[in-house]
Amino acid sequence: MTAMHAMTDFLLKLTDHRDRDLLELTLSKAIIGVLPLQRIVVARVISEAGQKRWLEVTRLDAKGGGKVADPLRVDFLSLPPLEEAPDRTRCLQTGQQIDVAWAGEGGPCITLVPLFEDSRSSDEGVIELHAERPLTDESLRTLEKLRHVYRNMFSLLEYSNRDPLTGLMNRKSLDDAFYSAVLEELDGVVGVSGNPPAVAALESERRHRVPANYWLGTARIDCFTQISDKHGHALGEEIILLVARILNNTFRTYDRAYRFGGEHFVVLMHCPEESVVLAAFERFRSGVARFNFPQVGQVTVSCGFTSVMAHDTPATALEKTYQAVEFAQGNGRNKVISHPELVRVGRVSDGAILGA
């Protein structure tokens, strides 16, 4: 495939899908398809409880093979801290291209460039290019064009998938993330025929499987209609914004947080067991209850969560979380309820809550 054909193919693929999580994979395949590289890595910064670590979102080898990470399933503590990759960190801090050569001028070289050209607290990342010799000016210009297209597409999807008030993802962006949670992720793929091999290696379809430890949760602000009617629409929006900030500060950066409109929030997460999910939502509920909201004082939320099953759709899983929230609001509000626990104790039957 010529460089021009590879570039055209990249543009078509990048603008063809609407899943933001696939953009780094598409970008990586384009770059390794047109530049003389041995390997390309896209590494993003993710955080949890104030700690920041490196996640290699994509890693492709020109000789075949590679991997794509699912941020929802990552073991955060197994990832390297920022300081263990000083060249990546320096690239982020300076916002400049970093070249690392270990065999003298003209020998093998790693070139690092920021994934984004603007300074941002979220979506930080670098592109790491491994080559047998330093990249030429022409190759660097091609790289910049590909990055520019990627950034434009990222911004478009970011705008269309985000709630304008809170910055959380919106309802229509849930479906892709949800179905990805019940599909085999693209990892551990080894080389097959193709040109370049890494491009063909990662074209295989994801296979349907039973999801492992995915959870969907819903949170609703208690008595929000009465609060909004009493204090006005503007203050109601401020409360929604503050609750969204508490939500963002409570859950991990790789958990997926959504606002579905009004006082309704949703979180999609991957956790090893139910107790961990319960603890996360309890921290959020408690954080909201302790916060002193301007002109209102205390505001509470009711939360419900469920495990994601292989046969679930977004609608069926959400319905189970709504049942749990309904139970919480019918039993004093300001609670976190597990739908699986409601099933275990016989409070849910045929999709309906039995006796509050």
On the question of pLDDT at 62 being above 70, the answer is yes
Point out the domain boundary residue: 135, 161, 187. Answer: 161
Point out the domain boundary residue: 116, 138, 161. Answer: 161
Tell me: do 231 and 338 sit in the same domain.
Answer: yes
Tell me: do 129 and 260 sit in the same domain.
Answer: no
181 is a domain residue: no
Where are the alpha helices (H) located in the chain, listed in sequence order?
Answer: 3-16, 23-34, 86-94, 137-161, 174-180, 197-201, 224-231, 233-250, 274-290, 314-329, 339-344
Q: Give residue 63's pLDDT band: very low, low, confident or very high (50, 70, 90).
A: confident
pLDDT digits (tens, 9 = 90+) for 97-148: 999 987 777 789 999 999 987 655 567 899 999 999 999 999 999 999 999 8
pLDDT digits (tens, 9 = 90+) for 203-214: 343 344 445 689
| Host domain of residue 240 | 214-353
* CATH number of the domain encompassing residue 222: 3.30.70.270
Q: Are 210 and 310 in contact (CB under 8 A)?
A: yes
Tell me: do 230 and 341 sit in the same domain.
Answer: yes
Tell me: do 148 and 25 sit in the same domain.
Answer: yes
Higher-confidence residue of 205 and 333: namely 333
203 is a domain residue: no
On the question of pLDDT at 47 being above 90, the answer is no
Tell me: do 257 and 120 sit in the same domain.
Answer: no
On the question of pLDDT at 289 being above 80, the answer is yes
Tell me: do 130 and 12 sit in the same domain.
Answer: yes
18 is a domain residue: yes
Tell me, what amino acid is at 219? A
Beta pairing, strands 125-131 & 39-48 = antiparallel
The percentage of residues in the chain with a pLDDT greater than 70, rounded to a whole number, is: 81
Tell me: do 111 and 222 sit in the same domain.
Answer: no
Q: Poorest-confidence range of 67-76, 140-149, 214-223, 257-266?
A: 67-76
129 is a domain residue: yes
Q: How many structural domains does the chain have?
A: 2
Mean pLDDT calculated for residue range 348-356: 62
156 is a domain residue: yes
Q: Give residue 194's pLDDT band: very low, low, confident or very high (50, 70, 90).
A: very low
How far is the C-alpha of 274 from the C-alpha of 220, rounded, in Å?
20
Higher-confidence residue of 152 and 293: namely 293
Tell me: do 150 and 11 sit in the same domain.
Answer: yes
200 is a domain residue: no
Tell me: do 148 and 242 sit in the same domain.
Answer: no
167 is a domain residue: no
* CATH number of the domain encompassing residue 152: 3.30.450.40
349 is a domain residue: yes
Q: Give residue 182's pLDDT band: very low, low, confident or very high (50, 70, 90).
A: low
Tell me: do 237 and 104 sit in the same domain.
Answer: no
Tell me: do 113 and 13 sit in the same domain.
Answer: yes
How far is the C-alpha of 67 from the C-alpha of 47, rounded, in Å?
21
Tell me: do 15 and 93 sit in the same domain.
Answer: yes
Say what the pLDDT of residue 192 is. Answer: 33
Higher-confidence residue of 153 and 159: namely 153
Residues linked to residue 54 through DSSP beta bridges, in sequence order: 45
pTM: 0.71
How far is the C-alpha of 336 from the C-alpha of 321, rounded, in Å?
11
